[in-house]
Amino acid sequence: MTRSCRRSSAALGLRLAALLCLALVAAPGRVVGAAPRVYDAPAATGDGGAAAPVPPPPPEYHTQDLDWIEFAYHPSTRDRVRPLIARADAVRAELGTLLGREALVAPVKVRIAASLAELDGLIPGGIAGPATAVSFGALRLAVLSDAPRLGVEAPDLESAFRHALAHLALDEATGGALVPRWFHEGFAGHAAGDGVARRAQRLSVAALRGGLLPLDALEANLPGAGGTAGSLAHAQAADVVRFLVEGERRPLFARALDQVRAGAPLAGALEAAYASTGREIELAWRADVARRYGFVPVLAGSLLVVGLLVAGRLAVRRFRARRSPPPPAPRRRLRAAREAAEMRQRTVRPSTAQLVATLGARHRSEADGDTDVPKVEHNGQWHTLH
């Protein structure tokens, strides 16, 4: 009896496990769809998978509607929000250029809080994690905070605004399809221009050291929600998107997004659009990184060092020239040599008076052998004094 009970329990457990597996296979979207969207662009859904309603802004908030975008912001942030309102159309146009289609066609809402404590009231269900900017593609909603997290420098509100709109635009272009997190973050980071100088520095160091991450490892190396956007994985993700949309490859990027919207996975869509395997795309990107962030910085650094050495040498020469008189020119040296020779000749050569006196004395001695008798010259004649 005991053995039969044990067998029945084991059989029941196997059946339950089988049913669980069948349930997971029958509903993959719900299980798989939750994990990739744990970042600053989550799929905001309420109970039962339905989109949660957007809560109205607090009554003290100011609002401004530009037809396609509605701003609601705390009065204390007015001076920092006004430039965003003025540049909203330009940001939308830039996103449309990157995506190869009109961006943000459906209206979007932007909420800007003055402190992190206000974010929970602006986000459906509250905010999970320490993020200061969150986008909800299904709700067409972007929520930003003008205040920094504890221990973090104040956010660049314009960069965060661009970043949030980029998430919304990509969700719209793909029809809300699930794409890898690194691709979503990479597109938003490239579109917003997040830390371009710091990103180039990280990629340059990684390229020179051979420490670039494989593309299939970007997802696992991205920080969690609210993590730093200055990581190497973030830098690589943004630069991969930069490579995919650069120059003649931009239409191919738009074609890949069309295939993702039609239901194709991102990897397959990229391979079909770019007519290359994933490995070939990665190798092409790595070669581009080596040229852009490897060879060019080394060449620029070498030229800078050479320029500094030449400038230092010229500076030393000028300093020495100021301390010592400049050497005379060739003509001046020849003229000075002639004048010095003439001076020497003048000092050695006797004068005309000396020559006349010498010749006169010699003539007198020859005309009169008695040199001891005094003589005097008068009218050209010599007379002996007696």
In this prediction, residue 298 has a pLDDT band, given cuts at 50, 70 and 90, of low
Candidates 108, 81, 105; CA nearest to 93 is 105
pTM given for the model: 0.65
For 69-110, write each residue's pLDDT tens digit. Answer: 999 999 998 999 999 999 999 999 999 999 998 999 889 999
Query: Tokens 């973050």 belong to which residue?
Result: 185
Query: Tokens 């010498």 belong to which residue?
Result: 358
For 328-355, write each residue's pLDDT tens digit. Answer: 555 666 676 777 777 766 655 555 555 5
- Residue-range domain boundaries for the chain: 55-172, 174-348
Contacts for 228 with CB less than 8 Å, ≥ 6 apart: 234
Domain spanning 55-172, CATH architecture: 3-Layer(aba) Sandwich (3.40)
For 212-248, write each residue's pLDDT tens digit. Answer: 888 888 888 887 644 445 588 888 999 999 999 998 9
Q: Read off the pLDDT of each residue in 106-118 and give the average, rounded to a whole number.
A: 86
Query: Tokens 């800007």 belong to which residue?
Result: 112
Q: Is the pLDDT of residue 176 over 50?
A: yes
Q: Is the pLDDT of residue 38 over 50?
A: no
Token readout for 356 is 């006349």
Q: Read off the pLDDT of each residue in 182-192 and give the average, rounded to a whole number.
A: 91
Tell me which long-range contacts 13-21 makes (C-beta under 8 A, separation of at least 24). Answer: none
pLDDT at residue number 5? 46
Other residues' Cβ atoms within 10 Å of the Cβ of residue 56: 12
Compare 198 and 338 and report the one with higher pLDDT.
198
pLDDT at residue number 301? 53
Q: Report the C-alpha gap between 64 and 214 in whole angstroms.
A: 44
